[in-house]
């Protein structure tokens, strides 16, 4: 197991942001949310405000949502439209959608001031099947490397019909680890066995993607297939659509789940049924993860062991975290009995 201090305190959060969340591909939204030039999406990634905008030539460009003057925000978080340029909400500096400073209000030709030195700080932007990802590491490997194991799996071509947000009082890694195993299903989600065959739950690791699968029962809401991408994104499939789940680290003890639902809009009843199942499962996970975080904070737990049958994905995740932050490698998974 990872040392407990990796789940607690602001120092641990800073290490995660610096070494993991700002160096990996992070899901931001869908291209359909930015159909026209000047449309943008803005959010906070690894503690850093970012914005992605649709340029006149239809390409997407991404920047830190930080004015070079005195760190004002160019746009508010969320989605919106800028007519022709970014205008800082603090002092009105204007930037072209390629990041160049167009106008520093009332600076004129001040001695020693060159607008070319004050362009916006760029970030990487790439897309996969309409999903928009950003990476604050300009030298990162392409998104295609991360999603390659998913390319052989089809996703239904449905529109984004709903977005929901849930807050959980736990470290983001605690929630990820809960997501990565099916060991807890009989205890935490007993109703799952009505939808899928829990006894046949399977986990496979390919590259930096962890696949979960189980046979779906007749009439189930779930399609019996889930995929998790390093370090904090999941794609959950349903009979008539799919949901993209972003696990956002807000603080060392707070995780925000952002759910993006892509669904057949003609199936309103199935969509309603899916929301019931999704909300119930999230509520159950919220309770158990908050209890785990409380117990980690109590200082009694010192580290346990991982099941070779059910928790190989957690062993992989903890080892990947340790590599990223320069921590001692966790103890290996217990050997499975012959």
The stretches in the chain having pLDDT less than 50 are 337-338
Assess whether the previous peptide bond of 231 is cis (omega < 30° from 0). yes
What pLDDT is recorded for position 337?
46
Going from the C-alpha of 335 to that of each of 192, 202, 316, the distances in angstroms are: 28, 18, 14
- CATH no. for 26-139: 2.102.10.10
| Nearest CA among 216, 246, 222 for reference residue 234 | 246
What pLDDT is recorded for position 336?
56
CATH 2.102.10.10 segments of the chain: 26-139
Rg of the chain taking only CA atoms, in angstroms: 22
Q: DSSP assignment of 164-225, as one string?
A: EEEEESS-HHHHHHHHT-STTHHHH-GGGGGTB-GGG-EEEEETTEEEEE-PBPTT-SEEEE
> How do strand 202-206 and strand 209-213 relate by DSSP bridges?
antiparallel
Order of all β-strands in the sheet with 86-87: 86-87, 94-95, 101-103
Going from the C-alpha of 295 to that of each of 6, 12, 156, 301, 329, the distances in angstroms are: 14, 17, 40, 7, 23
Going from the C-alpha of 282 to that of each of 37, 141, 277, the distances in angstroms are: 36, 32, 9
CATH 3.90.380.10 segments of the chain: 147-325
Residue 55 DSSP one-character state: -
For residue 71, the number of C-alpha atoms closer than 13 Å in the C-beta half-sphere is: 2
Going from the C-alpha of 326 to that of each of 12, 169, 320, the distances in angstroms are: 12, 26, 10
Three-state DSSP state, 113: coil
* Partner residues linked to 134 by β-bridges: 26, 125
What pLDDT is recorded for position 338?
34
The whole-model pTM stands at 0.95
Report the distance separating Cα 260 and Cα 61, nearest Å. Answer: 22
What pLDDT is recorded for position 290?
98
| Nearest CA among 272, 268, 209 for reference residue 235 | 209
Segment 267-312, tens digit of pLDDT? 999 999 889 989 999 999 999 999 999 999 999 998 889 999 999 9
What pLDDT is recorded for position 1?
73
What pLDDT is recorded for position 335?
54
Report the distance separating Cα 247 and Cα 21, nearest Å. Answer: 11
What pLDDT is recorded for position 110?
85
The residues near 214 (Cβ < 8 Å, ≥ 6 apart) are: 182, 196, 197, 198, 200, 201, 202, 224
Segment 140-186, tens digit of pLDDT? 999 999 999 999 999 989 999 999 999 999 999 999 999 999 999 99
Superfamily of domain 147-325: Naphthalene 1,2-dioxygenase Alpha Subunit; Chain A, domain 1 (3.90.380.10)
């Amino acid at each position: 197991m990872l040392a407990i201090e990796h789940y607690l305190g602001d120092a641990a959060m800073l290490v995660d942001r610096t070494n993991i969340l700002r160096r990996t591909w992070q899901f931001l939204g869908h291209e359909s949310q930015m159909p026209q030039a000047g449309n943008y999406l803005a959010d906070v990634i690894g503690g850093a405000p970012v914005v992605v905008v649709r340029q006149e030539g239809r390409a997407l460009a991404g920047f830190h949502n930080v004015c070079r003057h005195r760190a004002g925000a160019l746009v508010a978080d969320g989605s919106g439209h800028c007519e022709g340029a970014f205008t800082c909400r603090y002092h009105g500096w204007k930037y072209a959608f390629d990041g160049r400073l167009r106008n520093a209000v009332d600076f004129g030709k001040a001695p020693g001031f060159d607008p070319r030195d004050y362009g916006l700080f760029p970030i990487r932007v790439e897309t996969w099947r309409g999903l928009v990802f950003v990476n604050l590491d300009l030298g990162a490997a392409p998104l295609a490397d991360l999603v390659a194991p998913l390319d052989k799996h089809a996703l239904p071509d449905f529109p984004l019909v709903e977005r929901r947000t849930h807050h959980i009082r736990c470290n983001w890694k605690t929630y990820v680890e809960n997501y990565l195993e099916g060991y807890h299903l009989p205890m935490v989600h007993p109703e799952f066995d009505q939808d899928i065959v829990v006894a046949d739950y399977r986990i496979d690791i390919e590259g930096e993607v962890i696949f979960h699968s189980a046979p779906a029962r007749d009439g189930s809401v779930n399609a019996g297939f889930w995929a998790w991408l390093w370090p904090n994104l999941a794609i959950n499939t349903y009979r008539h659509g799919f949901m993209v789940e972003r696990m956002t680290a807000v603080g060392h003890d707070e995780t925000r789940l952002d759910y993006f639902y892509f669904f057949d809009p003609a199936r309103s009843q199935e969509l309603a049924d899916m929301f019931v199942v999704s909300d119930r499962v999230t509520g159950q996970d919220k309770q158990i993860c908050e209890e785990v975080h409380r117990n980690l904070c109590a200082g009694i737990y010192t580290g346990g062991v991982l099941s070779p049958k059910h928790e190989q994905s957690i062993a992989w995740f903890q080892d990947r975290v340790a590599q990223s932050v320069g921590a001692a490698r966790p103890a290996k998974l217990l050997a499975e009995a012959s």
